[in-house]
Structure 1
Amino acid sequence: MTFSRKIKKFFTKEDYDFDSPDVNLRNFHPQLYIYLAAMGIFTNNQESLLRFFWPFLCISITIVAIVLEAMFVVHGVLIKDYAFATECFFYFLLLGMILAVYASVLYNKNEILQLIDDMNNDFVFIRTMESKYRNSFLMGQLLIHKSCCIWYSFTTSIGILYILLILSSLVMHGLLKSSNDVNRPLLFPMWLPADDPYRTPNYEIFLSIEICFLIIVNQAFSGYIYMLFHVLLHYYYILDMIMKDFEVIFDGLDESVSCLLPKDPLRKQVQSTLNGRMKRIVQWHLAVFKAVKIVSSVFGPPLVYQVMFSSIAICLLAYQVADSLERGKVHVIFIMLLTAGILQLWIPCYIGTLLRNKGYAVGEACWNNGWHNTYLGRLIRADMVLVIQRSQQPLAIKFIGLPQLQLETFSSIMTTAYSYFNMLRQYNSDS
């Protein structure tokens, strides 16, 4: 089997048995558990001290890198090398995001474990339901899997491109080396106050640290965006299950029993069936609100950081791209970083909008389920009113200092970034 064929089979899950009684969250989305383990959360041996090894290593490297980048920013401003300063300031912001993600995930370990357990229970329950529910839900999960593959492929390609460019530059440096040649290239620009970062062994040490930085960013930050859209999309499809339930809530029931006395056995039987159907709807609906609340508490701090500084980061990247174009160069890495910077903000905002609209759609599905065409609607009228009222509350991540995560927020941040970009360009032209 060719390598491309294997990649396609993994992407489309051709070998996965969707009808298996063993379908669960772990075997459908193993990457989710791998990410949690890398972030210091073991789902099996939850109290193992070994889980702190990799996070401690990553946090230590990140703190060292933050101190260095802060020093580079100050140096760039002092010597008026604003291109150097803006690039280093972007990396400084990105490293701060890594610390925010690690701190939030480790602090909210129990909430995350509860969320994972609830999502797995959804798998276990829905796989026992009728095919129209099971197939729809699993196709949605397949879309989540494909989105994960695309996102990780994109972010990993940026890291690989960094390394390939540096290797090609090293090869050219070795072939064209002369006494007046420039320093050996690093992934990210460096400066030391009393030493040369490009001499041996400084160069090799810093190059190793920068490669570790690429791995940490791809694992922590890219994984954080993945987990965020995974959880939100999971409950988006749970809302879809609720809407399917409303479509058939009166199916197979005799509406003539609504004219019987409340204590009549036939009416009590129908009433019990309707109550059972409404109970499942209400439980799912409450589960969605509970999940969004957990996501708000777990990812609220990094989201606040992301929303606050995304406009600055996007502005700095756009400035670097524009500056390189003015000098007749196409800086591929900065173009990809700018694309990633926009995507990392657009993805949660877009899915937040989808989830909010789907929440409102549940209320509309409840209203349009045909209750006015059958007398059975009177038997669950009070329950339907409660569901409709609850669905009017927007499903949105809420945290102190965080606007609702939706496309309107994305538009506002991009507008702010464009304003900063124009100010920076104007200042640069005046100076």
Structure 2
Amino acid sequence: MSYLRRLKGFIEKDYFDFERPDINLYNFHPQLRILLIVNGIFFNNRNSRIRLIWPGGSILLCMLAVCLESMFIYHGLTTKDYSFATECFCCFVLLGTMPVVSLSVLKNKDNILDLIENMNENFIYIRRLESKYRNSFLEGQLIIWKFYNAWLIFCCIVCGTFFMFPVFVLMYQSLFPSLDEDTTRPLVFPIWLPKLDGYSTPIYEIFLILEINYCLIFLQTFCVYIYTLFHILLHFYYILHMIKFDLEAIFDDINESVALLPHRDTRRIEVQKILNGRMKRIVTWHISVFKAVEAVSSIYGPPLAYQVMFTSIAICLIAIQITQKLENGILDIRFTMLGVAACLQMWIPCYLGTLLRNKAFGVGEACWNSGWHQTPLGRMIRQDIIIVLLRAQQPVTIKFPGLQSIQLETFSSIMTTSYSYFNMLRQYS
């Protein structure tokens, strides 16, 4: 029980000092820089060529896997082994995502570093504000930390299920050998080689090591990619929340009668400076949100476009694979978990995209409800308020050429298409 309490305390950051004066993005989220290293993002020696070794090797291995899976798919179709072809096509789609993510991140290295540094500056600035801002923002950061741990655990379970399967089967075959059983040694994914037995030594050992490496690459790619995406989006979701706080208190502690004084009156000039300073912070934060979403679109647009294009097909084929096994009285736990992961990795950005869009529209509502049109003080910042109102009407969404907006409507469309494909293939099977 003590270990469970420690784990719970770690996840809830019970041992973290929320009042420490040097708190920032990097010491509150130490995992951010660590995880980005595996994608070739170094924060100190940014242009070091060493950073390319791991992602470069991963990309080459994945390209090799994509070529092999293409050959396996062709073999399955020509021999009418559609179950084999279906499983290989699922692997083809999943493995094809990894080079897209890695290349997109490497290409936009500077954008990522600038974006993370901007997030750190926001973190440091807000932690110095009054408790209403600070506490709300840190609560949001704690939620991001909990989501990260949940996502990491889930990804580890899914990948662990895949590469531990052949290990357990090999242990069983070694401990309980029987001539009546099919003692073909298992692999993580099925293979076929022309004129060669892929399950004989040393070919089997080579492919087993390769496939376990692919599971680890898949873990690192999707765990880091989805985590970084939802961390950035949630961070700026809470920045929008700070803007709403500012708008609600924009006229607090200011005497309305000052607005009726002559323009050159010193008291009016002082109030004008205060209001301009408050509007400046609102506008700066608001613009930073638009810039951040634009940066996310350029960085993660290609992998998101790939996901939208192929996720419906992948989910459909995974569902067919599970259904075929169920008809034989077997529950394929690996593909069931893979199906859940395939849905989640598309649902998370779509849900956050909708959440961010609605929060951004809420800024416009908060701006109107601030009462600027009901107080004489509103005349002093009328133009600024109108500009923020107009800006808030623009949807804050991830956009990329050939990619529809990443929202829950997109996820619904993907799932509907996947279900249609599933019904069509089931009718003709």
TM-score tier after normalising by the smaller chain length:
over 0.9
Structure 2 residue 161 is matched with structure 1 residue 164: no
1:323-362 to 2 correspondence within 5 Å?
Answer: 323-362=324-363
**Which residue of the partner structure matches residue 41 of structure 2?**
41
Give the aligned length.
428
> Counterpart of 1:259?
260
The residue that corresponds to 1:217 in the other structure is 218
State whether structure 2 residue 146 is matched by structure 1 residue 146: yes
Show CA shifts across 1:24-66 (max 9, x none).
1111112111121100010111011111111122112111111
What residue is the counterpart of 1:405 in the other structure? 406
Paired residue secondary structure (2:373): helix
* One-letter code aligned to 1:96: G
Q: Runs of 4+ in structure 1 displaced over 6 angstroms?
A: none
The within-5 A match list for 1:283-302 is 283-302=284-303
Give secondary structure in 1 for the equivalent of 2:43: coil
Question: Is the Cα–Cα contact under 8 Å of residues 163 and 215 in structure 2 kept in the other structure?
Answer: no
State the partner residue of 2:123. Answer: 123
Residue 165 of structure 1 and its aligned partner are, at CA, apart by 2.3
- Give the SS at the match of 1:371: coil
Alignment of 1:49-198 (within 5 A): 49-174=49-174, 175-178=176-179, 181-198=182-199
Q: Which residue of 1 aligns with 2:4?
A: 4
Q: CA RMSD in A?
A: 1.2
Please name the residue that 1:380 is paired with: 381
Paired with 1:155 and 1:184, the residues of 2 have a C-alpha distance of 26
- Measured in 1, the distance between the counterparts of 2:294 and 2:211 equals 36
Residues 314-362 of structure 1 deviation map (CA, whole Å, 9 limit, x = unaligned): 0011111111111111111111111111111110000000000000000
Distance 1:210 1:10 in 2: 33
SS at 2:162 equivalent: helix
One-letter amino acid matched to 1:151: W
Listed one character per residue, the Cα deviations across residues 204-253 of structure 1 (whole Å, up to 9, x for unaligned) are: 11111111101100101221111111111100000000000011110111
Task: Output the amino acid matched with 2:352.
Answer: I
Cα separation, 2, equivalents of 1:185 and 1:331: 15
Q: What letter is aligned with 1:13?
A: K
Aligned to 2:321: 320
* SS at structure 2 position matched to 1:80: coil
* In 2: Cα distance, 1:113 partner to 1:14 partner: 29
Distance 1:177 1:117 in 2: 60
Offset at residue 294 of structure 1 (A) = 0.3
Q: 1:180 Cα shift?
A: 6.8
Unaligned runs of 5+ in 1: none
In 1, the alpha carbon distance for the partners of 2:164 and 2:221 equals: 22
Q: Distance in 2 between matches of 1:256 and 1:192?
A: 85
Shift of 1:179: 7.8
Residue matched to 2:208: 207
Q: Deviations over 1:97-122 (max 9, x none)?
A: 10100110000111111101100101
Q: Distance in 1 between matches of 2:229 and 2:407?
A: 14
5+ long unaligned stretches in structure 2 = none
Paired with 1:75 and 1:354, the residues of 2 have a C-alpha distance of 44
Percent sequence identity over aligned pairs: 55
TM-score when normalising by structure 1: 0.97
